[in-house]
Each structure stands twice: as structure tokens, then as C-alpha cells.
Amino acid sequence: DNQSYFATYTLEQPRDSKSYRHIYFACFFVLYVLIFFLNSWLIVVIVLERALHEPMYIFLCNLCMNGIYGATGFYPKFLHDLIVDSYVIPSYMCALQAFVIYTSVICEYCTLAVMAYDRHVAICRPLDYHTKLNRFACSMLLTFCWIVPVIMIIINVSLSNRLALCKYHIDKLFCDNWSMVKLSCETTVTNNIYGFAVISLVFVLFGFIIVSYIKLAVACKASLECRRKFWQTCVPHLFSLINFSVAMLFDTMYSRYGSSDFPENLRHFLALEIIIVPPLFNPVIYGLKLKEIRKRLLKPFNDIIKISG
């Protein structure tokens, strides 16, 4: 008798939102603009510079596009909530937000795995590089990065939407699949099994990336040129992987096992770290570390300095 269907969910309100919502709005707006600007700038540089039309930079471009895509799943809705001071979301929008954020998460891992494969071939089998990573192969790898996440998260969200609900409050600032599942009165065994299957895929991708880099590190020991290439092109990938994996671990642990007894600020940090840090961190670390990218990113500033001088 208690089962009912709610057309809307309520989301967690930021602490002291009545008093500080304008400050929150300014901070999150700046974050979103930075994410959009930094990732877009990197994308534009890669697209316009023919010298960067190589598989490594194409996959990096995909990583930046994914960062904008994932951030757009959260920031516009949250900024709107802060403006109107109302933290309510229709069920279909909640499902869409969960879909966007978590396709972005899986796409990030798939892209990092593809980038690890690219570096493995480039450093360990340089003579086969342009054969193995030709235009068709790159297209297939990019398709893999998007099709697999889309199919997996469509199934995930569909399994959640079929459940009857007893509650309607999501204890986070945004919708995620597991939070919606926890509102159900029904058995969630199928959702649990499928959720662990998704997590297992992430672990497989993580393992593939780590094994690839271990093999790369071993292969590069014998050659100074290989070691230089490894440090220049692979270290940013490792930083991205570690940063994103920590964020993913926080989000998964918080969603499934987080307690309301956690300090509120810590709960919000654990929930938002996956949305804030990776899309802001990736363009900065790649822009600073990769010489070809850094040179072209800084070119407009160098031209301005020369003109003014």
C-alpha cells in the first residue's frame, strides 16, 4: 500500500544554501566556464593544427569532448537549482542526468584504455604504428569508446526505472543510478548483479591500462629515447588514470556504502569529486606536459608578447 510513483525527486540542498547560494553559484559557474574553456581550447588547437592529426591527439580530443559532455550533465541543472533555490528534478530528467554522467564515466575509462593501447603500439612496435592505428582503426576505437558506455548505461537506467518507489529524496546534489535504486520498495537483486558487472568492466579496463604501462616501462628500460618518450607522453595518461580512478572509487563507495553520519561537507566532496576534478585536471596536465600541445597552446600569448615588445 505504501508503494507509489513520484513524478519528481528532491535532491540534497547545499549547506546553508539560503545564505550562500549566490556564492555557490559564482564558484560553480566559474568551474563550469573553466572546464568548458580549457577543454574547448585543447579541442580547437588539435582540430586546427594538422601536425596534431595523429591518433594520440585524436584520442586526447575525445577525452576533452567527454569532459565537456559529462560536466554539462551536472552544472547547468545545479546552477539553475541555485538560482531558483529549488532542488527538485522530474524523474525523466533524473534518468537523463544519470545517463549523461555515467556514460561519461565509462567513456573516460574506455578512452584511457585506448590511449594506453596507442602508446603501447607507438613505443613497443613503432614500425607497425601507422598500420595498426590507421584511420579506420581509430574510427573503430572511438566508436568503442562511446557505444559501449551508451549501451551499458541505457540498460542500467532502464533497470532502475522499472522499479516501484517508496521514497523520492536523493541524498546527493545530482541523480545517479544507485541512488534511484535505493528508493525502491522492490527487490533490487537484478540491479545489484548488473551494477557489479559494470564495476567489473571498469576493473578490467583499469587492469588493461596498468598492464599496458607496466609492459611499456619494462620495454623502455633499454633505450634512452624510449624512456624520454614514455615520460613525455605516458605520464600524463597515468596522472589522468590515477586521478579519475580515485574519483570513481570515492563516488562508488559513497553511493553504495556512504552513511548519512558522514560530515556533510565530506559527503558533498565525495559525490562531486568525479564531476569537478577530472574534466578540469585533464586539459591542464596534457596541455602542460605534452610538448607539441603546450607549444601550440601558448603560441597566441607568445605572439602577443612579441607584438607588444
Q: What is the pLDDT of residues 166-178, one digit of tens each?
A: 888 888 888 888 8
User: DSSP 3-state assignment of 12?
Assistant: coil
The dihedral built from the CA positions of residue 187, 256, 264 and 80, taken in this order, carries a sign that is: negative
Asked if 271 and 178 touch (Cβ cutoff 8 Å), the reply is no
pTM, two decimals, is: 0.85
Q: Render pLDDT for 256-292 as a digit per residue (tens, 0 to 9).
A: 666 556 666 776 777 787 888 888 888 888 776 666 6
User: Closest by alpha carbon to 117, among 106, 101, 133, 105?
Assistant: 133
- What are the phi and psi torsion angles at 43 (to 5°)? -60, -45
Asked if 189 and 288 touch (Cβ cutoff 8 Å), the reply is no
User: Closest by alpha carbon to 7, among 216, 227, 165?
Assistant: 165
Query: What confidence score (pLDDT) does residue 4 get?
Result: 47
What's the mean pLDDT when you consider all of the chain? 83
- pLDDT (tens, 9 = 90+) of the chain, 309 residues, equals 444 455 788 888 887 777 888 898 999 999 999 999 999 988 988 888 888 888 988 999 999 999 999 999 999 999 999 998 888 998 889 999 999 999 998 999 899 899 889 988 888 888 888 888 999 999 999 999 999 999 999 999 888 888 887 888 888 888 888 888 888 888 888 888 888 888 888 888 888 888 888 888 787 777 777 777 777 767 777 777 887 787 777 777 766 666 556 666 776 777 787 888 888 888 888 776 666 666 666 666 555 555 555
Query: What confidence score (pLDDT) does residue 3 get?
Result: 46
Q: Render pLDDT for 18-50 as a digit per residue (tens, 0 to 9).
A: 788 889 899 999 999 999 999 998 898 888 888
Close Cβ partners of 120 (under 8 Å, ≥ 6 residues apart): 212, 215, 216
Residue written as cell 551508451?
Answer: 150
Q: What percent of the residues of the chain are helix, what percent strand, and what percent coil, each to the nearest 5?
A: 80, 5, 15
Query: What confidence score (pLDDT) does residue 16 get?
Result: 76
Close Cβ partners of 78 (under 8 Å, ≥ 6 residues apart): 28, 173, 174
- What are the phi and psi torsion angles at 133 (to 5°)? -115, 55
- What are the phi and psi torsion angles at 184 (to 5°)? -80, 150
